[in-house]
Homo-oligomer: A and B are copies of this chain.
Amino acid sequence: MTHDTSRFYQLWGEVSDLLVAEEVLRWDQETLMPQPGHVRRAHVLATVAGLRHRLLTAPELADQVAAGLDRCDPESVDREQLVAARREIERATRVPERLVQAIAAATSEGLVTWQRARREKSFAAFAPALERIVALRREEASIRAVGDHPYDGLLDEYEPGLGTARIGPLFDRLSDELAALVAAVADSGVDVDESAARGAFPHDAQLAFCTWAATQIGFDFDRGRLDVSTHPFCTGLDAADVRLTWRWDTGDFRRGLFGVLHEAGHGLYEQGLPTHWRRQPLGIARSMSLHESQSRLWENQVGRHRDFWTFAAPRFREHFPAAPRGDAESLWRAANRIEPGMIRVDADEVTYIPHIVVRFRLETALIAGELDVADLPAAWNQGYLRLLGLEPRDDAEGVLQDIHWASGLFGYFPTYALGSLASAQLFAAAERDLGGLGPRFAAGEMSELLDWLRDRVHRHGSRYTADQLLERATGAPLDPEPFLAYARGKVDALYGVAP
């Protein structure tokens, strides 16, 4: 007899609904909420998150999962759903409520302190709060006890299946190769002209142009929105309700456009998730690196593609008649200039990964207890000097630039770099399967690529790990070679050097 799983799905549906409620509350907070509303909102968010934890760790749910796993067809999707649920439940159960609350309190204070410290450009003001956060997350990692390295327990939250032992050497290799590329760019004597990106780009015209671009790559505004926030993000409440945010710079169109293409890439993933698994464990995106592979693919492999600009340049000229240049070649060049800088979020495709490698090395050392918080700024500055050849003028553009550590996010940064690798790997496989993507982009045809991603990535929800999914989609697990080949090709095309 097959076990009846309806009660399991009912209980899981409630857990899943509470996550959506939490995401609506957060989205609203970041986009529309009157600022003084934050006092009450903090209570509401804590209550909803706490209830979700309570439901996820309730004995009845665990019993339903255990009974289901005992009796279900071992080849069934039900079984995969139950396994995914068990994983989530075990993760949630392992960390005691006390620690969850302590982390919530420490990061709530951490964010406020970080904002002040950043304004004052003083790491010292942030250090005590960060020490508490690091100590708590270290405790959490030791409780989770996943993998060989203490850091693996945190990494596992965002990227199941990838460990420090694999990422460390991978990042060493990448930083060496990319350092050589950056040196080649510097030695080329070529200065890629970015004047086409500078000028006066009024808000309304940017909004229209960005909306057009997001629509062209396939984002469905009937099942989504675009709003304003300080830091762009994407929230998928459901495949039929996906929300992007953006910000813009009226003196440089790139911040707005590439931000929207990036978030719309995340949004396409969310809009392509399987609705027949709505409210079920497999119905959501599982890995942050896969999510980031989708955003980077549409932002970079497509949005910074030469042929994309053949298609987009006439529309660009319509929206920005006063722009200094509107020819495809100049726009493509401006969109692809390579130059090491201090700020991660402003980095180009080639120098982006070194920013991540610096952070990865520092946070693994912090969590392993090999680096003290007090020594972090010096270690940060050394890392930048070594990998990017630059030193920050102050802590604000150095160790205080990111919100992540203040929010308690340790183990998240690597997924950005892994996403870049996966985006190049997927794009190369799509080109192999479909052929002639460039000419299609030039004609404004993006749908074959989207269909391919829908089929190979989106429709599987969280059924597979990143490695499994990449293996099915491209024939190999996560592999840095396609990204390195892509980066070399771009450097060659722009700077005429092929290292």
Residue ranges of A at the interface with B (Cβ–Cβ < 8 Å): 13-14, 17-18, 20-21, 24-25, 28, 32-37, 39-41, 43-44, 46-48, 50-51, 221-225, 237-238, 240-241, 278-279
Does the CB pair B32–A225 fall under 8 Å? yes
Which B residues are in CB contact (< 8 Å) with A223? 34, 36-37
| Interface CB pairs A-B, < 8 A, 30 | A14-B51, A17-B43, A17-B44, A17-B46, A18-B48, A18-B51, A20-B44, A21-B21, A21-B44, A21-B47, A24-B44, A28-B28, A32-B225, A34-B222, A34-B240, A35-B222, A36-B222, A36-B223, A37-B237, A37-B238, A37-B240, A37-B241, A39-B238, A39-B240, A40-B241, A40-B278, A40-B279, A41-B238, A43-B279, A51-B51
A46 vs B16: C-alpha distance when bound (angstroms): 12
Q: A17-B47, A24-B25, A34-B241 are in contact. List 8 more A-B contacts (CB 8 A).
A: A13-B47, A14-B47, A20-B44, A21-B21, A24-B24, A32-B225, A39-B238, A40-B279
Which B residues are in CB contact (< 8 Å) with A18? 47-48, 51
> Do most interface residues of chain A lie in helix, strand or loop, or is the interface mixed?
helix
Shortest CB-to-CB span from A130 to chain B, Å, is 29
Number of copies: 2
Given known A13-B47, A47-B14, contact A25–B36 (CB-CB < 8 A): no
Shortest CB-to-CB span from A346 to chain B, Å, is 30
Does the CB pair A17–B48 fall under 8 Å? yes
Query: Which residue from chain B places its CB closest to the CB of A28 in the assembled complex?
Result: B24
Does the CB pair B21–A48 fall under 8 Å? yes
Which B residues are in CB contact (< 8 Å) with A32? 225
Does the CB pair A34–B224 fall under 8 Å? yes
Does the CB pair A40–B240 fall under 8 Å? yes
Residue in A34, A46, A48, A240 with the greatest tally of chain B CB atoms within 10 Å: A34
Does the CB pair B47–A240 fall under 8 Å? no
A36 vs B225: C-alpha distance when bound (angstroms): 12
A279 vs B44: C-alpha distance when bound (angstroms): 10
Which B residues are in CB contact (< 8 Å) with A14? 47, 50-51
Shortest CB-to-CB span from A201 to chain B, Å, is 23
A39 vs B21: C-alpha distance when bound (angstroms): 14
A222 vs B34: C-alpha distance when bound (angstroms): 6
Shortest CB-to-CB span from A52 to chain B, Å, is 10
Shortest CB-to-CB span from A17 to chain B, Å, is 4
A225 vs B34: C-alpha distance when bound (angstroms): 7
A51 vs B54: C-alpha distance when bound (angstroms): 12
